[in-house]
């Protein structure tokens, strides 16, 4: 190796080392949030979302996603509601021979137009379809401000009944039926479970709730006070807007299908998996609902994932804890379909961290994503400067 090549090599190594140190320094700084230090991967994703570098429904890089032909076929339909209107549903039917269990999925999005849809939550539904081998039906219930409570829950219950009545058309097994939802969709899943009980509707085998909203009342939950700024992907402002537009009449807040936490009776409801997140304003009310269910004789499995924020399951392709939570739901639903859930006294499991090797892998991925985000910010800044004419020479044309 010539001296020139050695100097070039040393220069290249020095530049890479310097860039790496800069990336690490920035990422470690991002960990310092208003509510304390957060894990490195969480910090990177929160920074990306809050700086508008990505959105919560941005597709993960191909590096983190699996390729190949999916084991299901997908079809979007419009189905009639009892009031003469129609809603959209998306059916993910396994290609394997049926009949298959049926999972109804209710997406999050604060009950409001523009905050969530069957499209924004497509990645979660695809994963459930692939990993459970079930028919998964994503429900496009009507939302506020055009449609107020109880339209969303009535749509969702009618979609459940439609699925049972038409199960043979998509090779579904109506005797194995589950409801799943996240955030506001978790609220809807609880309401649908109650409606099925109260109206002698389809028998639901299990419910899986990701960080559900369980009350519209002004309850002094610690998590609401600590994590409501919006930095953790759900703000007090959005929650108040949801209440204002979805439940404009205060009397609606008391209805069990809106605020299931305060229902007179939670008996005879399906077994429930409740997953909550440490940095989430909805954490405490989700766990309180799980405890009330258990006290009412319902089998409950409750898991809090520390170090993550509201909506973290949507990031399962790049967050180990999101993927772990999704797999917990898959395992729980498959066990429920085989009659393997049983009642135990309420016990909240805290998921702290992964194995050391997985933690190191996650840190490395976080720095890599951090480097990409920094590069994106630099390019965006220079592009902005260029458009503003900062790089002009000042020479007249």
Q: How many CB atoms lie within 10 A of CB 26?
A: 17
Radius of gyration, alpha carbons of the chain: 23
Q: Residues, the chain, total?
A: 397
- Active-site annotation holder among 117, 138, 147, 183: 183
- Active-site annotation holder among 100, 107, 121, 310: 310
Known catalytic residue at 310? yes
- The rounded distance, in Å, linking the Cα atoms of 55 and 109 is 13
Distance set, CA 395 to CA 385, 388, 392 (Å): 18, 16, 8
- Active-site annotation holder among 280, 284, 294, 320: 280
Distance set, CA 323 to CA 1, 2, 6, 116, 219 (Å): 47, 49, 44, 20, 31
Residues 6 or more apart whose Cβ sits within 8 Å of residue 52: none
Residues 6 or more apart whose Cβ sits within 8 Å of residue 274: 209, 212, 286, 287, 289, 290, 293, 300, 301, 302, 303
Known catalytic residue at 147? no
Distance set, CA 104 to CA 49, 90, 168, 195 (Å): 28, 10, 16, 14
Known catalytic residue at 255? no
Catalytic residues: 183, 280, 310
């Amino acid at each position: 190796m010539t001296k020139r090549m050695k100097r070039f090599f040393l220069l290249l190594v020095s530049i890479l080392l310097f860039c790496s140190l800069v990336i690490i320094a920035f990422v470690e700084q991002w960990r310092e949030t208003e509510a304390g230090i957060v894990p490195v991967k969480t910090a990177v994703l929160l920074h990306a979302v809050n700086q508008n570098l990505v959105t919560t429904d941005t597709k993960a890089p191909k590096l983190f996603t699996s390729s190949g032909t999916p084991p299901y076929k997908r079809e979007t339909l419009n189905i009639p509601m009892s009031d003469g209107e129609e809603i959209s549903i998306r059916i993910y039917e396994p290609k394997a021979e049926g009949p298959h269990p049926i999972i109804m999925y209710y997406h999050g999005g604060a009950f409001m137009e523009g905050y969530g849809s069957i499209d924004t939550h497509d990645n979660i539904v695809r994963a459930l379809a692939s990993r459970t081998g079930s028919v998964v039906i994503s429900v496009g219930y009507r939302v506020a401000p055009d449609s107020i409570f109880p339209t969303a829950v009535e749509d969702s219950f009618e979609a459940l009944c439609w699925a049972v009545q038409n199960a043979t058309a998509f090779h579904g097994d109506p005797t194995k039926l589950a409801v799943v939802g996240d955030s506001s969709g978790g609220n809807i899943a609880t309401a649908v479970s109650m409606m099925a009980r109260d109206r002698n509707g389809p028998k639901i085998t299990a419910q899986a709730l990701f960080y559900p909203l369980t009350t519209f009342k002004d309850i002094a939950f610690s998590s609401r006070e600590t994590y409501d700024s919006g930095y953790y992907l759900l703000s007090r402002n959005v929650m108040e807007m949801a209440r204002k537009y979805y439940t404009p009449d205060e009397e609606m807040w008391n209805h069990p299908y809106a605020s299931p936490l305060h229902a007179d009776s939670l008996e005879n409801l399906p077994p429930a998996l409740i997953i909550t997140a440490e940095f989430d304003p909805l954490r405490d009310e989700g766990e309180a609902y799980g405890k009330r269910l258990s006290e009412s004789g319902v089998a409950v499995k409750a898991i809090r994932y520390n170090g993550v924020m509201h909506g973290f399951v949507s990031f399962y392709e790049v967050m180990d804890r999101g993927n772990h939570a999704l797999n917990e739901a898959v395992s729980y639903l498959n066990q429920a379909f085989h009659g393997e859930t049983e009642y135990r006294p309420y016990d909240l499991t805290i998921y702290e961290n992964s194995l050391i090797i997985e933690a190191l892998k996650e840190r490395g991925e976080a720095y890599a994503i951090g480097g990409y985000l920094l590069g994106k910010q630099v390019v965006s800044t220079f592009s902005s400067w260029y458009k503003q004419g900062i790089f002009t020479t000042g020479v007249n044309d």
